[in-house]
Amino acid sequence: MSKVRNAGALSALDYRSEQFLAVPVALFILAIIYLISPVDLIPDVPVIGHIDDFFITATATLNLLQKWLQNHSVFLASILGFFKWLVIFAGIAAGSLIGIVIMGIAKIFMG
């Protein structure tokens, strides 16, 4: 009886892990679409315009890898989680810095 119960629990766990990967895969696909799309948060000016593309794609990729490795290697998943949050915070800092620079330039030219 316990073997049957464990087998049922295992199949439910496998189903949940496949369903659990559906969201990170969808986010990764959306990030790739955003990467190739001409519509951006920051216009594609050389170097500056590609910053948002990099941070969004890198975050989605790290998130997908972290969720995929979570059942295989907790250590690697935790390292990827750390780097994911590092990329998120660096992206927020870079976006804020770009915003401050743009507002400063606009203030200089508008008087």
For the stretch 47-90, pLDDT in tens is 777 888 899 999 999 999 999 999 889 999 999 999 999 999 99
pLDDT (average), residues 4-11: 50
pTM of the predicted structure, to 2 decimals? 0.74
What is the pLDDT of the chain when averaged over all its residues? 84
pLDDT tier for residue 12 given thresholds of 50, 70 and 90: very low
Torsion of CA 18, 19, 23, 26, to 10 degrees: 70
